[in-house]
Structure formats: structure tokens, C-alpha cells
A and B are shown apart, each in its own frame.
Chain A
Amino acid sequence: NAGVTQTPKFQVLKTGQSMTLQCAQDMNHNSMYWYRQDPGMGLRLIYYSASEGTTDKGEVPNGYNVSRLNKREFSLRLESAAPSQTSVYFCASSESGNLAGYTFGSGTRLTVV
């Protein structure tokens, strides 16, 4: 049982380049999330998908887009990367509602130069 799988694990981009972070879960969870984690800032929600076919903005959505491709997959796209997007990105999933905790992927460490 793989849980939540994120790719890639590391990436270096030049300013202005685009890329897509991939996330897939095999736990049949309805809800999926993208967070970024920066020193001193904690985990901040970028976008989430409460169920297949829906997506909503979180705390820091600017500069990002998402696609909930199906129940398993939730991708995060940076259209024009900026140095301020240098961060560690985590995908997470959970069962519906607020009673279950998240399962996190292993993270993507992104550097924008």
C-alpha cells in the first residue's frame, strides 16, 4: 500500500519556467490537498479538492493552479515560477469530513533560481 505518492522529489527551475507536481493516492480518499512548508511559516494550504470534480483556493493560491484529474490524482501547476515559490511542497489526502487526519506524501523540494 503506497499511500500518497508525489513526484518529483527534487526540482530546480529557472524563473519563468513552468512545471507540474504530481500526486496520487491509493487509499480511496475523497479529499486531497496541496501545502507548502517554509521555515517559520509552517504548513500553508495552497489548494484543496474536497471531492472529485471540485477544487478550492486555500490560504496562498496565487501563482498556482490545480487539477483533480480523478479520485486518485491531484496535480499542482506552476505556470511561471518565481523565487518566492522556492519551498517544500506536500500533497495530502484524507477521508471526507474533519474526523480523519491527513496522510502526507513524501514532499517535493523545489528551488527556483
Chain B
Amino acid sequence: QKEVEQNSGPLSVPEGAIASLNCTYSDRGSQSFFWYRQYSGKSPELIMSIYSNGDKEDGRFTAQLNKASQYVSLLIRDSQPSDSATYLCAVTGSNQFYFGTGTSLTVIP
């Protein structure tokens, strides 16, 4: 079983809609959770971090964490074509982060 699982997609949403990205993880001891955005041919860019159960909002982005169910999600409200990218979920282990394989999101104008 992989440490971090994500649906690879592709996920397509129309412009202005809410995009929902999900991630599950296996290590119950994980303390920190991150979402990265990666445009094609570019490096991953940190967009959200969350450490406690519940929701964390930053602009159009909301991260949700449920440690009991071992999942973390990212909601993107009012999706824009510029949000089209691959979104990577990362979860902390003992000395490193474990990354999911990413979900490809396309926002259709």
C-alpha cells in the first residue's frame, strides 16, 4: 500500500465551478499535510498546509483534514483556467514527506 493515494484524474471542471481534490494516507502518526501545485514542465509550488482537523481557507483554496478517516482534501472555488495543473498531496513521515502521484486538473473556459 502506498503511503499517499490520490486519484490521478484527469479531473475536468468548467470555469467558475468548485474543484474537489482528495488524498488518503496510511500513516496515522502523520502530523503535517500539504498541497502542491505543479504546472507542466515546472517544479511543485506549495499552496496550502494544514495541521489540525477541520478546514483551512486561503483565498479561493480550502484544505480539509480528517485524521480519523486519514484523508485530506483541497477545494478550489471559482476555478479559473490558470488553475489547470497537477496537484500533489504530501504527508509527513519520520524524516521526509511522502507525495502522492498527483491529480491532473483541467478547468474548461
Seen from chain A, the residues whose Cβ lies within 8 Å of a Cβ on chain B are 33, 35, 40-43, 45, 48, 50, 56, 58, 90, 98-99, 101-107
Q: How far is the CA of A99 from the CA of B99 in the complex (A)?
A: 15
Closest B residue to A33 using CB positions: B96
How many A-B contacts are there with CB distance less than 8 Å?
A: 47
15 CB contacts below 8 A, A to B, read A42-B88, A42-B101, A42-B102, A48-B95, A48-B96, A56-B95, A58-B96, A98-B97, A101-B36, A102-B34, A104-B44, A105-B43, A106-B42, A107-B42, A107-B43
Seen from chain B, the residues whose Cβ lies within 8 Å of a Cβ on chain A are 8, 31-32, 34, 36, 42-46, 49, 51, 88, 90, 92, 95-97, 99-102
Q: How far is the CA of A104 from the CA of B100 in the complex (A)?
A: 16
| Residues of A close to B36: CB separation below 8 A | 101
Shortest CB-to-CB span from A76 to chain B, Å, is 15
